[in-house]
Amino acid sequence: MERNLVSDNIHLSTKFIILVTTVIVVAVSIYLAWSLHIQRAATEDKVLSAARTLSIEMTAAWDYINDSQMAINYNYDGSYDFKGIYCSIAGKDIAQRFTKQSEGYVIRYARENPRSGTDEPDEFERKALRLFSTGKARELYGIEEYKGEMVFRYTSAIEIRYNCLSCHGEPAGEKDEAGFLKEGMKFGDIAGTASIIIPLDLYEKEAQTRTFQTIEFFLALLFVVIAVIRFALRKWVTEPLTQANLELQDENEAKTNFLTIMSHELRTPLSSIIAFTDIWEKSFNEKSEDEQRLVHEIKENSRALLNMVNNTIDVARLEAGRFEIAYDEVDIVDVVSSVVSVADPIAIKHGISLEKRISPDTPIIISDWEALRKIVMNLVSNALKFTGTGGKIDIEVSYLSDIERVVIKVADTGTGIPEKDREKIFDRFTQSAQQGDARANGSGLGLFLVKTLTKKLGGEIRVETAVKKGSVFSVYIPTNSLSK
């Protein structure tokens, strides 16, 4: 018994571990997906912030050169001397220097109808220029593929300012100081776009590292919590329940032993009483009618009581796990004949017709002869209890070859079973409220024993009944219970 409880505890622990593991896997999967989504959004925000900062710095350098044109192009004596240094040249030079010294960064300037071939916009930059020209936005960004790699692209609008008009203003077609033709632009027009390309590798690696560190911490915390919960369950739940189960099993075993001992003690004198009545009936002494009636009553009631005692012992053995099935070749004809030989005298006495019909194609089956006898005996005894004088009980055996089942049907014309009782008639210590006569009294274990034994033999039982019309109990037994 203790070994079974230990085994149950191990099984329970295994179930708990599997459940917890499943919960952990699901939780980590959900958390990982959510964390990756959050980290990707955070990475994009971080890269966007870096791109905006870099754009502001490049614009500041551009504006500084633009604002310093007077100091650059005029000598100390006040004469104008164009040095060839202006905002576009300075901005591109700074961008090239930054690009060479950075890890994969690219900073460039692009515009429609560029003065230089290096300023030719690509598709993303053209999209940005079209957007800027509408006046709805002054920046465009997103994750795009660039030269076979996924990168973060950021573009910001470059507007024409007052200092830009000397090179890009009016009149259109006139050459500026650098020798390029002016475009005739006005203040506030879009001159082009500053384009920044940032590789995502470093940012994604950093995000992944943070994600896995968070998951490691989450798992460590989760396992600590599980360990604490498991310890608490074992200490405050499992161990007290195990102790309580041991005590309950000890109590149940004591009750079972007491019931078995008392049942055996009852069975011995009952068997003796039945034997003595048989001897008395077979004796040649002259007997009065009252004596014969009294002895018959003693014998019939002793048999009924012995049947209840036997059922009680069988139920106790089943619940204690001590009822062993003895498989052998069984002829159903012998089983039914054995039951009829005992039940027929009782049926005749109470004016009940008892008939048996066995299909000739019924095969020899592999089952337990005694278990089948108990099943049929209890069904017939139950039918006798609830069938009145003039009633009929049929025992029919047939073979269903398609499902390899032998069907034993016990049909009666008795009181039937009310609908409210049909679901509980196979419970222990339960009887239908529809009574026949005094013979209907019993232990309430017969049908419980029938269902339990049928299940142990790999079969099933079905009931068809109607109040005041009778009942049909059908037991389906496999032809080879060993294979079920």
Delimit the domains of the chain by residue range.
14-199, 324-483
pLDDT of 9 reads 55
d(CA 237, CA 234): 6
Examine residue 171 and say whether the peptide bond preceding it is cis (omega within 30 degrees of 0): yes
What CATH class has 324-483?
Answer: alpha beta
DSSP, collapsed to helix, strand or coil, labels residue 83 as coil
Which pTM value belongs to this model? 0.48
**What residues form DSSP beta bridges with 463?**
473
Task: Give, for 190, the enclosing helix (H) or strand (E).
Answer: strand 190-199
DSSP string for 279-308: HHHHS-S---HHHHHHHHHHHHHHHHHHHH
User: In a 3-state reduction of DSSP, which class is residue 137?
Assistant: coil
DSSP 234: I
Per-residue pLDDT of the chain (484 residues), as tens digits, is: 444 544 555 566 667 667 777 877 787 778 777 877 777 787 888 888 988 988 888 888 878 877 787 788 778 777 877 777 777 777 778 877 877 777 778 888 888 887 777 788 999 989 999 999 898 899 999 888 888 888 999 999 988 877 777 777 788 888 877 778 877 788 888 888 888 888 888 777 777 787 778 778 877 877 787 788 778 777 777 777 777 777 777 776 776 676 667 656 666 777 777 777 777 777 767 777 777 777 777 877 777 777 777 777 777 777 766 678 889 999 999 999 999 998 998 899 889 999 999 999 999 999 999 899 999 999 999 999 899 999 999 999 999 999 999 999 999 999 998 888 887 888 876 665 454 444 445 567 889 889 999 999 999 999 999 998 999 999 999 999 776 6
